[in-house]
Structure 1
């Protein structure tokens, strides 16, 4: 498929003559590429629960998964897929982070990461029969989780939104339909510099009005995952068998 861009006028050339306008033609195409995810442990039939955790902007799943691995819950398989965009966090060298998307070509990026998450879930669900599947998004991963949740047919039982909110371009009506009667947890630090409590309350109220079970928690801290809060949440959502 072709998409036509703008005509771009060149700078005046020699003797005041103008360069010819240049037509920029865009063509999208598909190809096979490699993606990755990190696990808290090797998949095993003894794992009763699956928790898909989506990292925030500039994070790497290799380190993000450690928030969950240190809980030492052998009955839960935590999986952290990686956003498809890697970049240097500072300049052109040093630490690397990942993101799920940017404003550039965002709709195609959304399609791509939803397809990625669908494939990850397909691999894991096909290999084991889990009693419960939970989707958790942190920061930028919250919008990612919401968009995928609105599309997927995978049997996700619960949604956790940590330090983030429903993306403004996602229809709340679609979100309500996809969530149905599934419980939703919203967590936010009282000193979060990005997500505001007012926005959290607005979304909580709207979802509650439409029959969505919402549990919200304002914890002491900033834009981060607090170990004690996570441990308490996991213990509540995933009872030990």
Structure 2
């Protein structure tokens, strides 16, 4: 995910956010960005990104999660910062799996325009509920990747996985990051 288009200085994987509403260096966001790029159609105009494919998924998932663990260890996040993990689109599955597997000590977990993996269980996220971390799922009402039936499944997963303590945020829009919503989430 590249949120730099929103005029917010967020680096590829992690950052300190500077915004008039935030105290300097008070938030630290890790936003995994898919490393594999590809053209979305034969016009070669629009580029997409991918984390995983059906081939060697288990191995590739393990590699990605180990990479994320190493990234976090190398960042040396200051203790005073609120840690926010934000996944957009396919990054939701990585953010969810990584948080669950590595028991990331975060303050907020944001799933934005993507689906939570089916294999995850309430036990995987129990540690977040004991520390009162904020969990949000943000979905556009015109997102071409989220059908009505999938929306219902995501709502059910959200309720089940987080014991009803997660918040669903709907907005008028598609498969996109809305600047005002993002600012509201991180302030």
Unmatched tracts of structure 2, length 5 or more: 11-16
**Once the 2 structures are TM-superposed, how far is the Cα of residue 161 of structure 1 from its aligned partner?**
0.9
Structure 1 equivalent of residue 124 of structure 2? 175
SS in structure 2 of the partner of residue 180 of structure 1: helix
Structure 1 equivalent of residue 170 of structure 2? 218
Please report the TM-score for the alignment, with normalisation by the length of structure 1: 0.61
Aligned pair partner of 2:154 in 200, 203, 213 = 200
| Total equivalences in the alignment | 170
Aligned pair partner of 1:131 in 64, 81, 88 = 81
Pairwise CA RMSD of aligned residues? Answer: 2.6
Higher relative contact order (CA 8 A, sep 6+): 2
Per-residue Cα deviation, 1:87-123 (whole angstroms, up to 9, x for no partner): 3334496654431111111111101110111111111
Q: Which has the larger radius of gyration?
A: 1
Greater share of helix: 2
Structure 2 equivalent of residue 151 of structure 1? 101
Unmatched tracts of structure 1, length 5 or more: 1-54, 56-62, 236-241
Distance 1:130 1:97, change over 3 A: farther
Query: 1:19-38 residue pairs with structure 2 within 5 A?
Result: none
Distance 1:201 1:153, change over 3 A: closer
Please report the TM-score for the alignment, with normalisation by the length of structure 2: 0.76
* Alpha-carbon separation, structure 2, partners of 1:156 and 1:136: 11
